[in-house]
Amino acid sequence: MENATPEIIEKAKSWLSSQYDAETRKQVQYLIDNDPNELTESFYRILEFGTGGLRGIMGVGTNRMNIYTVAMATQGLANYIKMKFADMKTPQIAIAYDCRNNSKEFAKITADVMTANGIKVFLFSALRPTPELSFAIRELHCQSGIVVTASHNPKEYNGYKVYWEDGGQIVAPHDKNIIAEVQKITDISMVKRKGNAKLLEMLGDEFDEIYLNKVMSLSLSPKLIKKHKNLSFVYTPIHGTGGQVMPKLFAKAGFKNFYPVEEQMVTDGNFPTVVSPNPEEPAAMSMAIEKAKAMKADVVLATDPDADRVGVAVRDDNGEFLLLNGNQTASILTYYILTRWEELGKLTGKEFIVKTIVTSDLLIKIADKFNVKTYDVLTGFKYIADKILNKPEEQFICGGEESYGFLVGDFVRDKDAIITCFMLAEATAWAAEQGRTLYQILKEIYMEFGVYREKLVSLTKKGISGIEEIKNMMLQFRTNPPKNLLGSRITEIRDYKLGISKDMNFGVETVINLPKSDVLQFFTEDSIKVSVRPSGTEPKIKFYFSMNEPLEKLGELHGVEQELNENLDELAKLFIEPQQA
């Protein structure tokens, strides 16, 4: 066990002053006396206010999520809001929070700092989904918004996401400008913490009704919902915010058989029934699938703690439950929605969808069929929201990302699991009208456009050393890129950090017209696509692998999928094994 540096000990001792509460001082003193490693991790830097906001492990110290780091970040944001809206007497902000430990306390200190700075706060009276917060910003004419959440991260984490007046998460130039203001707040004494109750307004169930009515307005097949109202759905919020509104929505829609997983409807930031509250993890959906088997349900739906991501399980041709990944869910929904838009005569040639650069290119193929434009954006739903904002002359239909996020319509400007579950339920009714299941719709998509398979591998590299390891990996991939993958020659390399795409056949470089980001992509002559990027929210480096093959006959689907899966496993080894050696 190494000793903490004198600088770190000095920084920690500053947290023993009377500005900090007794429990915080006690915990800091314990670290100084007993745990130099944790002391170092807690104080070696100031918790980074990233381009989306805060996220970190909860605990005492400058590098942890606690009421002091939250208050200091909020003061910086408040200063920026007042500066940008200097002509407004009272700027407004909406604040929501999720089920995590300390979320309510962090929301309260955030509200206190904002009202202390003369900013009116609309604060949800209890936990609510992130997308409802995004909706509230525009509905209530706010200049900004905050949701206290660490999304699907493990229970040790919390954070908050910052939104701007368009209802989307902050992007350039606001992201960097807010970071600059936050960095100016170097001591808790610089924070105004005495809240002004006159500037606080609470939001409750009545606001849910406004939001859910808007969700219902997206319906493309209301008659089919009525006809197939006896379809059955099992749902879990995984102890999170979706439990507040999803039962109301399905009742409002008229579905008669909606079965929540009662054990997971309990609000609990310790997530006692799962190892990880992430619907991308099969284990997180196991209780829901078991209940669905018992109830003979048609579809399983799961939302993460802040209800912006959706996990889905559908019955295959043998009646067994099959977990869909984010790309498959997005493909089914895009296909359903564009088909209905065409049938209803709503397509005019000015519509578009959006996906992220690591999301399946199958979405492009589907959109092309309907002559709907596709925009590719950087990873992160904030870039989808920004595209909606900056294309006012065109109409956004829907958009998605491989990491289980999807959005329909533009009254919310973030991924929305509430909307997505509703549209999936409606798509189930649409499929049932044709005597099909969602799985059979997916097979028809593969038959028409080819079978697309993807694989995501994340390597976790924790602590100070992990940050350096990830930097070095990205440097190696840039300076020594592969020449071929599985015998297929690389024809293009895109470096989003440099903003350059290089044609490897002719050496021609073209500019990538997207914001700079630390992402590399490799494309081969046989449609292999590999993307590499450090995570923006966790100590991970992520590898995305994608391949596709045409499908001649439906009976060959299993064999084609098996072959693609094996090739993806081999492809992953090329990138992962050298990093683990």
pLDDT at 544: 97
Residue tagged 């099959």 (tokens): 322
Q: How confident is the model over 506-559, as pLDDT tens digits?
A: 999 999 999 999 999 999 999 999 999 998 767 889 999 999 999 999 999 999
% pLDDT > 90, the chain: 94
Residues labelled as active-site residues = 151
Q: How confident is the model at residue 580 (pLDDT cuts 50, 70, 90)?
A: low
Contact between 397 and 288 (Cβ < 8 Å): no
Which long-range CB contacts under 8 A does 31-39 form with residues at least 24 apart?
A: 31/60, 31/61, 32/4, 36/1, 36/2, 36/3, 36/4, 37/1, 37/2, 39/4, 39/8, 39/9, 39/12
Asked if pLDDT for residue 385 goes beyond 60, the answer is: yes
Q: How confident is the model over 225-257, as pLDDT tens digits?
A: 999 999 999 999 999 999 999 999 999 999 999
**133/415 Cα distance (integer angstroms):** 11
> Average pLDDT in the 174-189 region?
95
Instruction: Report phi then psi at 314, rounded to 5.
Output: -125, 160
Domains of the chain: 64-203 (3.40.120.10), 220-433 (3.40.120.10), 451-580 (3.30.310.50)
> Average pLDDT in the 313-328 region?
97
Q: How confident is the model at residue 160 (pLDDT cuts 50, 70, 90)?
A: very high
Q: How confident is the model at residue 1 (pLDDT cuts 50, 70, 90)?
A: very low
DSSP letters for 379-418: SSHHHHHHHHHT-TTSEEEEEEETTTEEEESSSS-S--HH
Asked if pLDDT for residue 337 goes beyond 80, the answer is: yes
Q: How confident is the model over 122-135, as pLDDT tens digits?
A: 999 999 999 999 99
Instruction: Please measure the distance between the N-terminal and C-terminal CA atoms of the chain and give it in whole angstroms.
Output: 25
Angstrom distances, CA of residue 385 to CA of 166, 218, 460, 510: 8, 18, 29, 26
Q: Is the preceding peptide bond at 173 cis, omega within 30 degrees of 0?
A: yes
* pTM across the whole model: 0.95
Half-sphere exposure of 218 (CA within 13 A, CB side): 29
Q: How confident is the model over 49-88, as pLDDT tens digits?
A: 887 899 999 999 999 999 999 999 999 999 999 999 999 9
Residue tagged 């309510």 (tokens): 104
pLDDT at 537: 66
**1/16 Cα distance (integer angstroms):** 23
> Average pLDDT in the 198-216 region?
98
Asked if pLDDT for residue 426 goes beyond 50, the answer is: yes
- The whole-chain average pLDDT of the chain stands at 96
Asked if pLDDT for residue 581 goes beyond 60, the answer is: no
Neighbours of 189 (CB within 10 A): 8
Q: Which of 95, 114, 118, 132 is nearest to 241 (CA)?
A: 132
What pairs with residue 260 in β-bridges? 235
To 10 degrees, what angle do helices 417-433 and 130-139 make?
A: 110
Q: In sequence order, which residues have a C-beta less than 8 Å from that of residue 19 and are 6 or more positions away?
A: 188, 189
Please state the separation of Cα 447 from the chain's center in Å: 30
